[in-house]
Protein backbone atom coordinates (compact mmCIF):
# COMPACT_ATOMS: atom_id res chain seq x y z
CA UNK A 1 0.00 0.00 0.00
CA UNK A 2 2.76 2.39 0.88
CA UNK A 3 4.49 1.85 -2.49
CA UNK A 4 1.26 2.48 -4.32
CA UNK A 5 0.78 5.76 -2.50
CA UNK A 6 4.32 6.83 -3.34
CA UNK A 7 3.82 6.08 -7.00
CA UNK A 8 0.52 7.92 -7.11
CA UNK A 9 1.88 10.91 -5.23
CA UNK A 10 4.91 11.23 -7.55
CA UNK A 11 2.89 11.43 -10.75
CA UNK A 12 1.27 14.81 -10.09
CA UNK A 13 4.58 16.22 -8.90
CA UNK A 14 6.46 15.17 -12.04
CA UNK A 15 3.78 16.00 -14.58
CA UNK A 16 4.05 19.80 -14.27
CA UNK A 17 7.82 19.64 -14.69
CA UNK A 18 7.44 17.59 -17.84
CA UNK A 19 4.91 20.02 -19.24
CA UNK A 20 7.22 22.93 -18.47
CA UNK A 21 10.07 21.25 -20.32
CA UNK A 22 7.81 20.59 -23.33
CA UNK A 23 6.64 24.19 -23.33
CA UNK A 24 10.21 25.46 -23.28
CA UNK A 25 11.12 23.31 -26.28
CA UNK A 26 8.36 24.60 -28.63
CA UNK A 27 8.52 28.27 -27.64
CA UNK A 28 10.02 30.38 -30.47
CA UNK A 29 12.19 33.41 -30.05
CA UNK A 30 11.32 36.52 -32.10
CA UNK A 31 14.28 35.78 -34.34
CA UNK A 32 13.03 32.24 -35.02
CA UNK A 33 9.55 33.53 -35.77
CA UNK A 34 10.90 36.02 -38.31
CA UNK A 35 13.10 33.31 -39.83
CA UNK A 36 10.08 31.01 -40.22
CA UNK A 37 8.06 33.74 -41.96
CA UNK A 38 10.97 34.52 -44.28
CA UNK A 39 11.31 30.84 -45.15
CA UNK A 40 7.65 30.64 -46.12
CA UNK A 41 7.98 33.81 -48.24
CA UNK A 42 11.10 32.51 -49.98
CA UNK A 43 9.44 29.18 -50.80
CA UNK A 44 6.32 30.96 -52.05
CA UNK A 45 8.37 33.35 -54.18
CA UNK A 46 10.32 30.42 -55.63
CA UNK A 47 7.11 28.60 -56.53
CA UNK A 48 5.53 31.68 -58.13
CA UNK A 49 8.72 32.60 -60.00
CA UNK A 50 10.03 29.26 -61.24
CA UNK A 51 7.33 26.61 -60.87
CA UNK A 52 3.96 28.22 -61.58
CA UNK A 53 2.64 31.61 -62.60
CA UNK A 54 -0.82 33.12 -62.81
CA UNK A 55 -2.23 34.72 -65.95
CA UNK A 56 -5.55 36.31 -66.85
CA UNK A 57 -7.18 35.87 -70.27
CA UNK A 58 -7.72 39.33 -71.85
CA UNK A 59 -9.24 38.38 -75.22
CA UNK A 60 -11.59 35.92 -76.86
CA UNK A 61 -9.12 34.23 -79.22
CA UNK A 62 -9.41 30.92 -77.30
CA UNK A 63 -13.18 30.85 -76.80
CA UNK A 64 -14.89 28.69 -75.76
CA UNK A 65 -11.97 26.84 -74.22
CA UNK A 66 -10.80 29.94 -72.34
CA UNK A 67 -12.97 32.99 -71.70
CA UNK A 68 -12.12 36.62 -71.07
CA UNK A 69 -11.64 36.95 -67.32
CA UNK A 70 -10.38 33.40 -66.74
CA UNK A 71 -7.48 33.38 -64.26
CA UNK A 72 -5.06 30.51 -64.88
CA UNK A 73 -2.32 28.76 -62.96
CA UNK A 74 0.44 28.00 -65.48
CA UNK A 75 2.99 25.20 -65.10
CA UNK A 76 6.41 26.63 -65.96
CA UNK A 77 8.39 23.43 -65.38
CA UNK A 78 7.09 20.62 -67.61
CA UNK A 79 7.83 22.36 -70.92
CA UNK A 80 10.93 24.23 -69.73
CA UNK A 81 14.33 23.39 -71.26
CA UNK A 82 15.67 20.50 -69.11
CA UNK A 83 18.20 21.36 -66.39
CA UNK A 84 20.56 18.43 -65.72
CA UNK A 85 21.02 19.19 -62.02
CA UNK A 86 17.31 18.81 -61.26
CA UNK A 87 16.24 16.55 -64.13
CA UNK A 88 15.93 13.40 -61.94
CA UNK A 89 13.36 15.20 -59.76
CA UNK A 90 11.27 16.90 -62.44
CA UNK A 91 9.16 15.56 -65.30
CA UNK A 92 10.16 17.34 -68.51
CA UNK A 93 8.72 16.80 -71.97
CA UNK A 94 8.65 18.52 -75.31
CA UNK A 95 5.56 20.49 -76.42
CA UNK A 96 3.01 18.33 -78.23
CA UNK A 97 0.29 18.97 -80.79
CA UNK A 98 -2.89 19.91 -78.99
CA UNK A 99 -1.17 21.47 -75.96
CA UNK A 100 -2.46 24.85 -74.83
CA UNK A 101 0.68 26.97 -74.58
CA UNK A 102 1.55 30.29 -72.93
CA UNK A 103 4.38 31.96 -74.85
CA UNK A 104 6.02 35.28 -75.58
CA UNK A 105 4.92 36.72 -78.90
CA UNK A 106 7.93 36.42 -81.23
CA UNK A 107 7.30 39.60 -83.24
CA UNK A 108 5.70 42.98 -82.68
CA UNK A 109 2.64 44.20 -84.52
CA UNK A 110 1.02 47.61 -84.78
CA UNK A 111 -0.96 48.25 -81.60
CA UNK A 112 1.18 46.02 -79.35
CA UNK A 113 1.98 47.60 -75.93
CA UNK A 114 5.14 49.68 -75.50
CA UNK A 115 7.00 50.93 -72.41
CA UNK A 116 7.69 54.54 -71.36
CA UNK A 117 10.60 54.73 -73.83
CA UNK A 118 8.49 53.50 -76.71
CA UNK A 119 10.12 50.07 -76.81
CA UNK A 120 7.90 46.99 -77.31
CA UNK A 121 6.98 45.17 -74.11
CA UNK A 122 6.94 41.41 -73.72
CA UNK A 123 3.49 40.26 -74.78
CA UNK A 124 2.31 36.94 -73.35
CA UNK A 125 -0.15 35.00 -75.51
CA UNK A 126 -2.02 31.75 -75.05
CA UNK A 127 -2.87 29.57 -78.07
CA UNK A 128 -3.09 25.91 -79.00
CA UNK A 129 -0.07 24.20 -80.48
CA UNK A 130 -1.11 22.90 -83.90
CA UNK A 131 2.13 21.82 -85.56
CA UNK A 132 5.60 20.84 -84.31
CA UNK A 133 9.00 20.94 -86.06
CA UNK A 134 9.02 18.97 -89.29
CA UNK A 135 5.23 18.95 -89.76
CA UNK A 136 3.67 19.75 -93.13
CA UNK A 137 0.54 21.81 -92.53
CA UNK A 138 -2.38 23.12 -94.52
CA UNK A 139 -6.05 23.88 -93.92
CA UNK A 140 -8.93 22.89 -96.16
CA UNK A 141 -12.29 24.49 -95.40
CA UNK A 142 -11.06 25.08 -91.85
CA UNK A 143 -9.90 21.49 -91.27
CA UNK A 144 -6.28 21.24 -90.11
CA UNK A 145 -4.32 18.65 -92.10
CA UNK A 146 -0.94 17.57 -90.72
CA UNK A 147 1.34 15.40 -92.85
CA UNK A 148 -1.63 14.50 -95.03
CA UNK A 149 -3.89 13.47 -92.12
CA UNK A 150 -6.97 15.50 -91.14
CA UNK A 151 -6.92 16.32 -87.42
CA UNK A 152 -9.91 15.93 -85.11
CA UNK A 153 -10.19 19.24 -83.26
CA UNK A 154 -13.56 19.37 -81.50
CA UNK A 155 -12.50 22.38 -79.41
CA UNK A 156 -12.02 24.61 -82.47
CA UNK A 157 -14.63 26.98 -83.83
CA UNK A 158 -16.20 25.29 -86.89
CA UNK A 159 -16.09 26.84 -90.33
CA UNK A 160 -19.47 27.74 -91.83
CA UNK A 161 -20.56 29.54 -95.01
CA UNK A 162 -21.10 32.65 -92.86
CA UNK A 163 -17.63 32.84 -91.30
CA UNK A 164 -15.53 31.31 -94.10
CA UNK A 165 -12.34 33.21 -94.92
CA UNK A 166 -10.02 32.02 -97.66
CA UNK A 167 -6.91 33.19 -95.81
CA UNK A 168 -7.89 31.57 -92.50
CA UNK A 169 -9.64 28.43 -93.75
CA UNK A 170 -7.50 27.57 -96.81
CA UNK A 171 -4.15 28.46 -95.25
CA UNK A 172 -1.49 28.80 -96.69
CA UNK A 173 -3.17 29.31 -100.07
CA UNK A 174 -3.35 33.10 -99.57
CA UNK A 175 -0.08 34.92 -98.69
CA UNK A 176 -0.28 36.80 -95.36
CA UNK A 177 0.77 40.07 -96.97
CA UNK A 178 -2.68 40.32 -98.55
CA UNK A 179 -4.55 40.50 -95.24
CA UNK A 180 -4.61 43.17 -92.51
CA UNK A 181 -2.95 42.25 -89.23
CA UNK A 182 -0.02 40.32 -90.72
CA UNK A 183 3.59 41.37 -90.16
CA UNK A 184 6.02 42.42 -92.83
CA UNK A 185 8.73 40.00 -91.65
CA UNK A 186 6.35 37.03 -91.91
CA UNK A 187 5.20 38.10 -95.35
CA UNK A 188 8.81 38.17 -96.56
CA UNK A 189 9.81 34.81 -95.00
CA UNK A 190 6.54 33.02 -95.76
CA UNK A 191 7.35 31.71 -99.32
CA UNK A 192 10.51 29.97 -98.09
CA UNK A 193 8.44 27.61 -95.91
CA UNK A 194 5.99 26.49 -98.63
CA UNK A 195 6.42 23.05 -100.22
CA UNK A 196 3.76 21.58 -102.52
CA UNK A 197 1.04 23.73 -100.97
CA UNK A 198 2.03 22.89 -97.39
CA UNK A 199 3.63 25.08 -94.77
CA UNK A 200 6.67 23.21 -93.37
CA UNK A 201 7.53 23.95 -89.74
CA UNK A 202 11.31 24.43 -89.38
CA UNK A 203 13.45 22.94 -86.55
CA UNK A 204 13.04 24.60 -83.16
CA UNK A 205 9.77 26.30 -84.19
CA UNK A 206 6.08 25.75 -83.43
CA UNK A 207 2.85 26.79 -85.14
CA UNK A 208 0.09 28.16 -82.88
CA UNK A 209 -3.59 28.88 -83.50
CA UNK A 210 -6.45 30.10 -81.32
CA UNK A 211 -9.48 27.88 -80.81
CA UNK A 212 -11.67 30.81 -81.89
CA UNK A 213 -10.27 30.29 -85.37
CA UNK A 214 -11.93 33.28 -87.05
CA UNK A 215 -11.09 35.78 -84.29
CA UNK A 216 -7.49 34.96 -83.49
CA UNK A 217 -4.30 36.73 -84.52
CA UNK A 218 -1.94 33.78 -84.43
CA UNK A 219 0.84 32.07 -86.39
CA UNK A 220 -1.13 32.50 -89.59
CA UNK A 221 -0.55 36.25 -89.25
CA UNK A 222 2.94 36.53 -87.71
CA UNK A 223 4.68 33.16 -88.08
CA UNK A 224 6.33 30.53 -85.94
CA UNK A 225 7.05 30.56 -82.20
CA UNK A 226 10.65 29.67 -81.22
CA UNK A 227 11.14 26.99 -78.55
CA UNK A 228 12.80 29.56 -76.28
CA UNK A 229 9.62 31.68 -76.24
CA UNK A 230 7.47 28.96 -74.68
CA UNK A 231 6.67 29.83 -71.06
CA UNK A 232 4.48 26.92 -69.98
CA UNK A 233 1.04 25.35 -70.11
CA UNK A 234 -2.10 26.24 -68.12
CA UNK A 235 -3.05 23.70 -65.46
CA UNK A 236 -6.41 24.93 -64.22
CA UNK A 237 -8.70 27.94 -63.95
CA UNK A 238 -8.61 29.14 -60.33
CA UNK A 239 -11.10 31.99 -60.81
CA UNK A 240 -13.26 33.21 -63.68
CA UNK A 241 -14.95 36.64 -63.60
CA UNK A 242 -17.18 38.04 -66.36
CA UNK A 243 -15.19 40.84 -67.96
CA UNK A 244 -15.48 42.87 -71.15
CA UNK A 245 -12.66 42.31 -73.60
CA UNK A 246 -11.87 46.04 -73.54
CA UNK A 247 -11.21 45.94 -69.77
CA UNK A 248 -7.67 44.62 -70.09
CA UNK A 249 -6.77 47.25 -72.66
CA UNK A 250 -7.40 50.06 -70.18
CA UNK A 251 -4.60 51.79 -68.27
CA UNK A 252 -4.43 54.32 -65.49
CA UNK A 253 -4.72 54.11 -61.72
CA UNK A 254 -8.22 55.61 -61.63
CA UNK A 255 -9.61 52.98 -63.95
CA UNK A 256 -7.95 50.17 -62.02
CA UNK A 257 -9.45 51.39 -58.75
CA UNK A 258 -12.89 51.64 -60.38
CA UNK A 259 -12.56 48.09 -61.72
CA UNK A 260 -11.53 46.77 -58.29
CA UNK A 261 -14.68 48.37 -56.88
CA UNK A 262 -16.76 46.71 -59.60
CA UNK A 263 -15.24 43.31 -58.79
CA UNK A 264 -15.93 43.78 -55.07
CA UNK A 265 -19.60 44.69 -55.71
CA UNK A 266 -20.25 41.94 -58.25
CA UNK A 267 -17.92 39.20 -56.99
CA UNK A 268 -20.65 36.67 -56.23
CA UNK A 269 -22.93 37.45 -59.18
CA UNK A 270 -20.30 37.74 -61.93
CA UNK A 271 -17.95 34.96 -60.88
CA UNK A 272 -18.36 31.94 -63.15
CA UNK A 273 -18.46 29.41 -60.34
CA UNK A 274 -18.74 26.38 -62.65
CA UNK A 275 -15.35 27.24 -64.15
CA UNK A 276 -13.59 27.47 -60.78
CA UNK A 277 -10.73 24.95 -60.51
CA UNK A 278 -11.63 23.51 -63.91
CA UNK A 279 -8.73 21.76 -65.57
CA UNK A 280 -7.52 23.41 -68.76
CA UNK A 281 -7.41 21.15 -71.79
> In tens digits, what is the pLDDT along the chain, a chain of 281 residues?
444 443 444 444 454 555 444 445 556 666 555 555 555 444 444 444 445 678 899 999 999 999 999 999 999 888 877 666 555 656 778 999 999 999 999 998 777 777 667 777 788 999 999 999 999 999 999 999 999 999 999 999 999 999 999 999 999 999 998 898 899 999 999 999 999 999 999 999 999 999 999 999 999 999 999 999 999 999 999 999 999 988 877 777 888 899 899 999 999 999 999 999 999 98
pLDDT of res. 223: 96
Residues 74/75/81/87 CA torsion (nearest 10 deg)? 170
User: 223 — alpha (psi -120 to 50), left (phi > 0) or beta?
Assistant: left
Q: What pLDDT does residue 19 have? A: 45
Residues 6+ away with beta carbon under 8 Å from 233: 74, 75, 78, 79, 99, 100, 101, 102, 280
Task: List CB contacts of 236: < 8 A, sequence separation 6 or more.
Answer: 72, 73, 277, 278, 279, 280
pLDDT score at 173: 95
Q: Which of 92, 12, 61, 13 shows the shortest CA–CA distance to 222?
A: 61
Q: What is the structure's pLDDT at 121? A: 77
pTM of the complete model: 0.79
* CATH number belonging to the domain at 48-135+203-279, selected among 3.40.50.970, 3.30.420.40, 2.10.109.10, 3.40.190.10: 2.10.109.10
Do residues 73 and 238 touch, judged by C-beta distance below 8 A? yes
Amino acid sequence: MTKQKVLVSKAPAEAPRRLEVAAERVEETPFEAVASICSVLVVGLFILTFLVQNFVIPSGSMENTLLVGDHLVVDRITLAPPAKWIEPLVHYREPRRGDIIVFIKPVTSPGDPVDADGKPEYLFLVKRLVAVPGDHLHLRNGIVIINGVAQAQPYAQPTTPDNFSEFLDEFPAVPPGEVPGSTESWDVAFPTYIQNGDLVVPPGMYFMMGDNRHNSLDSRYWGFVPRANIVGRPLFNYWSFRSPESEYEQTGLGHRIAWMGHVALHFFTDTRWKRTFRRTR
